[in-house]
Structure 1
Amino acid sequence: ANTAIFSVVNGVLLRPLPYPKPDALMQLATVFQNGGASNVSYPNFEDLRDQNRSFANLAVYANWTAPAAAAGEGFRVALAKVSASFFAILGVPPVAGRVFSADDERAGQRVAVVSYGYWQSRLGGGATFAGQTVHVGDEAYAVIGVMPRGYDFPLGTELWLPREPRTEYRTAENWHVVGRLRDGVSRDRAQQDLSAIARRLKQQYGDRTSMMDVAVGPVLEQLVGRVRPALVILLGAAAVLLLVACVNVVNLMLARALTRDRELAVRLALGARPVRLAGRFLAESLVLSLAGAGLGVILAVAGVPLLLAFEPGRLPRAGEVGVDWPVLGFALAVSLLAAVAVGLVPAIRAARRDAREALTDSQRSQGGGVASQPVLGALVASQVALTIVLLVGAGLLGRTFLKLLAVDPGYRTRGALVMDVWLPYGQDTAGEARVAGFLERLIVRLRAIPGAARVGGVNDFPLHSEFYSNGTFVILRRPDEVSNFEDFGRLAHIPARSGYAQFRVASEDYFSVMGIPLIRGRLFDERDVPSAPHVAVISASLARTRWPGEDPLGKLIQFGNMDGDLRPFTIVGIVGDVHEQNLGAAPRPTFYAYYRQRPGKAYRFQIALQGRVDPAALAASARRVTRELDPQVPTRFRTLTDVVSASLADRRFVLLLLALFGGLALVLASMGVYGVIAYMASQRTRELGVRMALGARGRDVEAMLVRQGAAFALAGIAVGLVAAFALTRFLASLLYGVGATDPLSFVATALVLLVAALLASWIPARRAARVDPMVALRSE
């Protein structure tokens, strides 16, 4: 387990990025007045690039999933639009062809660089790609280069396109920024440099820029920061399990050493040196540990692919996970430490023995008897304490998972099929008209499918979207108050005239299909044609937080920074809140526009189909209808139940592994208690025979041994609860609705351990109580 988990941690967190001088690669982000962070607008990027003295160069990129086509068949492709300096900053040349030049970006050339995997799977992987094109949307791009195998930035990208030259506003934070530090420049120095530039830009542009500061951080952290806490917790849990196993082996070896006291006494009497006997125990533990390490590596080689297959598919850098030399070195180091830990106690005991004392002790008691009990008891208690830590963690995550399952997401979570479509039309007025027309025809055809009861869609489906659109809106006093983005930016910085919300475009039946209740007003209907005044529906949380004590119906607002359309909206309805991004986060204020009036955000649309037939049959019919309308529109289908389940996959993965480790630790701790009580009973056979010969009943003997096991367990439980109280705060980021010191989890875990220890003690105690007193009295 340790080797497999470490291989994941090494591949994801520890291994440097596969670029020259990876520590010099930094990610930049805009810091707002409220302390939040986001991407960077292109005008601000240009100023940062031109005025800084810390970076050799800066580049922008934006990545998403887009529709592509080949041989008349539509499919999805992960693409990134990048500035010309992007590839130079990362420092990896193409394996074939070339990358973008500054002229490609300035002239808006329709050229593309593809990943090695895309080259092999879509372009045939031939020696030349002259004349090869990639169709993205309704544009054809000539392939000019292929990146090497393993080049994966942004993660999962298959296709890179040059950024088109166009006018952008300082409040449109749409771009990720990556840069390479100059030689000899530290991250702190770069932070000071860019912070000073940000202050100058704020003074120069005032409300026309939202940037108050710039955050500078390693690219690696931006890639893997989301999974770091969970992986570190799993590695720690695996280490605790290893300690439990080591203590178990120490118990066995010490018990074996105690039974060999007569042999050791004879050896010492014949002149053997205590140090040599200690070395013998260490050598035995080393052989065991190295054998375990070899078996562990074999299991890790087989287990890592299984672990990755079990992982929910959102692990960054998963392709770099494997059993390599650092992992083998870790396995060897752990085995050596385990050898020392396992062999140390019996070795020290052997090294301190005196020949005369050993002979006397061996005549008095073959196994060390009562004198060995404190050491064995302490080892058992430590096993129980470590197990408590693991089980408390698993209990907290289990309670969190149950709390999340009980959350009302604000919409129907069963009985619907979710269909994703990516529309390959131009990003202009004509393209938007095609989007609206296609979706209107598609929804009509889907409603006509036998067994389809209701159909409705939205651009960002709850718990299902790759990207969630959100931004600032302004409140208007008259429809023509905002005629350009300068006016918009001015009002956006006045708290009394602005707000912040999620931005969605939805169809008229989306709310009824999803079971999202209408609280006041109306929903979208046939009156809301594209030429009519644009209308909006808002969530209850937006109405409550932005217009407390007021009626928001009829209010005029402008959300033009989302789709570039400056026509105002009139609020006509209020609907219930939904948990959009995860069940553990509070519902966010949300704004819904009608897709026929604002199709600019509907190029990717997610449609819920509520049906009375099998989901697979419904999906097949929906796919056929889509291909009949446009064969180049790619689709994807999932049930709503799967969508909700996938949103909990990360927590479920950590919970199951932690529960597995905790369960194994519980078994090992129970075995430890059983083994120690059985050993003590065997060493006290004569004493027990005397007790029973003098009138003690079998149940008295059972109770005495069980009390001894319970005492060891209670000591371990007490220590374990204190340790768990100190350590569970590291789980805080994974918890929901449960505190890190949840009393129920602590008490329940302690009771489980106590019951397991009592049962493990009772089994050997019961056997010892059934021994014939006469047989026990004759034992040596």
Structure 2
Amino acid sequence: MSFEQAASEMRRIFADLEREFPQLNARRTVMLLSLQEQMVGEVRPALLALMAAVGLVLLVGCVNVANLLLARSAAREREIGLRTALGARRGRLVRQMLTESLVLAAGGGLAGLGVAALCHRGLLMLVSDRIPVPRLDQMSLDLRVVAFTLVAALVTGVAFGVVPAFVSTSHAGDAIREGGRHGGGRRLHRVLRSLVVVEVALSLVLLAGAGLLMRSMVKLQAVDLGFRVDGVLTASVQLPTSRYDFLASGALFRDSMTRIAALPGVQSVAGASCMPLPFPCIGTSFWRVDQPRPADGQLPTSHVRPVTPGFFTTLGIRPVAGRDFSDSDTADSTPVAIVSQQVARSQFADGSPLGRRLRINVNHANGREDVEWTIVGVVGNMRSALDGPLQQTIFIPKTQRPGGNMTYFVRTRQDPLALASSVAGVVHAMEPEAPVDIRTLNDVVGRTIARPRAISVLGSVFALVALVLAAVGVYGVMAYSVKERTQEIGVRMALGASAASVFRLVLSQALRLVLAGVATGLLAAVALTRLLAGLLFEVEPLDPVTFAATSLALLTIATVAAYLPARRGMRMAPVDALRTN
């Protein structure tokens, strides 16, 4: 059966269920996903962004190597010219230079494989918890990876060795006729400068992307969650549904919370049906009883969180009005609810929500859905996701909507993990078969931003590598330029030019190249950073602050890289410069 056929069949089945059970399936839809989409769909943009960064770093490295090969061929200009004069064919010279390029590429590929073999396990351990790619822990340097790496090295070696080989042999005879001083050198220098512009532009694209991701990360970390994460241990428990009904599970949870509260070092303990982040718990629609029910497509929606008394105190959620839940809020008492400020502002602009009643599309402990919930309190907003809009939240007593799952929140003055074994012991003493997942609340929240943090860190590492390569490229070209212009510099100084003017001459030439690269890179970044829009939080892909900061950083580093060759030219003695052949 094809995917389209399966989707059509699922829609037909759901339509039958909707006709047979209209109340249960109202306002619900069905969506079919492939297994691959379900497992890797969320991480695909992150992986594509990382692959693009790797590709840009590879391009910068290749351009840098091409620059070095051109500079080396310039030093061999007279040798190449002499060999041409003695009858060597251009094709043979090109093949020799391509062979040298391939040897460099193969050596680099093998060295890269060696570094990967040493570091890949640690890198996978670092990334696996942050970018949840299925079967990431099973990845290894197998033959496919080795073959791909070597082929990529050889292909790039040929691709970026062709230009230096053809440029350096295009006017080989001129070196003999012109004394090896002016002919091909100027042509090579033009190509070198063009490659530096490309290198700087690619580096700026990487820097801009990394800067956007870092700014997004800073924004994420500054989000007000609405609750305190420090000093809280969480323990998630799932009871066997075959042995625990609503009443039995509720009794076990109450008894276990009493025992946990009695543990040494525990300040307070509370429970909820799910974690604050990243799960929204129950997402459903609701409406006010004192107003006409809106049409199905216009019903307001909210996250509904069943919690125990003391939940707001334990998590430090700010009370605004009314009361907390209490032990008197049982399955047999009046259904009550506490709403967030977002609900109060959006749904009760006409007055206080206290005492008002809601209809919420959730089942009560008595199994009925047509229950009216009386609002008894208002609390501060609590986020269910860091990178999305603030959602409305309605809290109801866990006793009035019990279930077989519970997350305990234990606040303590000591290290929360010091209580881990004691809390797990309490649960297992009451139900040995119940799995218990224990983590600090700080770790739970940290995992929600682990993926953007890992992407921003890796992107910054790639950008730093590209920045270093660009600096090396600028330094190499300017050093070659100073060497080529040694006699010119000697003449200038012999005619009265100051050392400072020579310094400015060399440095201004470098800055022109870098400015051209920055301008080109900005144009490319404007087009390419839009692809990062899905990975950014409260940061625009064309953020002017990021673009200005990265451009300034690149200009500064490139200026420092050009400083040494400029200083060398400034310190030349005129007599020594004029004697240089």
Same fold per TM (> 0.5)? yes
1:658 shift after superposition: 0.4
Question: Is 1:674 the equivalent of 2:475?
Answer: yes
> Given the superposition, is the C-alpha separation of residues 556 and 769 from structure 1 closer, same or farther in structure 2, using an over 3 Å criterion?
closer
* Equivalent residue number for residue 316 of structure 1: 134
* Equivalent residue number for residue 64 of structure 1: none
> Given the superposition, is the C-alpha separation of residues 427 and 541 from structure 1 closer, same or farther in structure 2, using an over 3 Å criterion?
farther
* Equivalent residue number for residue 565 of structure 1: 367
CA distance in 1, matches of 2:394, 2:237: 22
Gaps of 5+ in 1: 1-54, 56-180, 182-186, 479-490
| Aligned-partner residue type, residue 576 of structure 1 | G
1:503 shift after superposition: 2.3
Q: Secondary structure at 2:234's aligned position in 1? A: strand
Which region of structure 1 is more displaced relative to structure 2, 198-207 or 448-457?
Answer: 198-207
* Equivalent residue number for residue 51 of structure 1: none
Let me know the Cα RMSD of the aligned residues.
Answer: 2.7
Question: Is 1:759 the equivalent of 2:574?
Answer: no
Question: Is 1:254 the equivalent of 2:70?
Answer: yes
User: How far does the alpha carbon of each residue in 1:359-408 deviate from its partner, in whole angstroms, 9 at most, with x for none?
Assistant: 1234434x844343221111111110000011101100110111111111
Alignment map for 1:237-636 (pairs within 5 Å): 237-313=53-129, 314-353=132-171, 355=173, 357-365=174-182, 368-424=184-240, 426=242, 431-463=245-277, 465=279, 468-473=281-286, 494=296, 499-549=300-350, 551-552=352-353, 553-561=355-363, 565-566=367-368, 568=371, 569-580=373-384, 582-600=385-403, 603-636=404-437
1:296 shift after superposition: 2.4
* Equivalent residue number for residue 222 of structure 1: 38
1:632 shift after superposition: 3.6
Q: Secondary structure at 1:420's aligned position in 2? A: strand
CA distance in 1, matches of 2:10, 2:433: 45
1:534 shift after superposition: 2.3
1:204 shift after superposition: 8.4
| Aligned-partner residue type, residue 279 of structure 1 | R
CA distance in 2, matches of 1:746, 1:761: 22
| Aligned-partner residue type, residue 226 of structure 1 | E
Gaps of 5+ in 2: none
CA distance in 2, matches of 1:454, 1:361: 89
1:735 shift after superposition: 0.5
1:712 shift after superposition: 0.7
Q: Secondary structure at 1:646's aligned position in 2? A: helix
CA contact (8 A) 2:74 2:168 kept: no
Q: Secondary structure at 2:409's aligned position in 1? A: strand
Which region of structure 1 is more displaced relative to structure 2, 571-580 or 758-767?
Answer: 571-580
CA contact (8 A) 1:471 1:561 kept: no
CA distance in 2, matches of 1:749, 1:501: 41
CA contact (8 A) 2:128 2:136 kept: no
1:433 shift after superposition: 2.1
CA contact (8 A) 2:98 2:158 kept: yes
- Relative to its length, the structure with more helix (as a share) is 2
| Aligned-partner residue type, residue 434 of structure 1 | A
User: How far does the alpha carbon of each residue in 1:567-590 deviate from its partner, in whole angstroms, 9 at most, with x for none?
Assistant: 62322222221111x211122222
CA distance in 2, matches of 1:420, 1:494: 34
User: How far does the alpha carbon of each residue in 1:97-140 deviate from its partner, in whole angstroms, 9 at most, with x for none?
Assistant: xxxxxxxxxxxxxxxxxxxxxxxxxxxxxxxxxxxxxxxxxxxx
CA distance in 1, matches of 2:246, 2:28: 34
TM-score norm. by structure 2 comes to 0.91
> Given the superposition, is the C-alpha separation of residues 422 and 722 from structure 1 closer, same or farther in structure 2, using an over 3 Å criterion?
same
User: How far does the alpha carbon of each residue in 1:424-446 deviate from its partner, in whole angstroms, 9 at most, with x for none?
Assistant: 45465xx3222222222222222
CA contact (8 A) 2:80 2:172 kept: no
Q: Secondary structure at 1:609's aligned position in 2? A: strand
Which region of structure 1 is more displaced relative to structure 2, 409-418 or 498-507?
Answer: 498-507
Alignment map for 1:166-245 (pairs within 5 Å): 181=2, 187=3, 209-210=25-26, 215-245=31-61
CA distance in 2, matches of 1:590, 1:730: 33
1:769 shift after superposition: 1.3
Which structure is richer in relative contact order (CA contacts within 8 A, separation 6 or more)?
2
Q: Secondary structure at 1:364's aligned position in 2? A: coil
CA contact (8 A) 2:340 2:378 kept: yes
1:323 shift after superposition: 3.0
- Relative to its length, the structure with more strand (as a share) is 1
* Equivalent residue number for residue 713 of structure 1: 514
Q: How many residues are aligned here?
A: 575
Identity of aligned residues (%): 37
CA contact (8 A) 1:237 1:661 kept: yes
| Aligned-partner residue type, residue 694 of structure 1 | L
1:345 shift after superposition: 1.5
CA contact (8 A) 1:473 1:500 kept: yes
CA distance in 2, matches of 1:648, 1:737: 14
CA distance in 1, matches of 2:406, 2:180: 85
CA distance in 1, matches of 2:138, 2:519: 42
Which region of structure 1 is more displaced relative to structure 2, 550-559 or 368-377?
Answer: 550-559
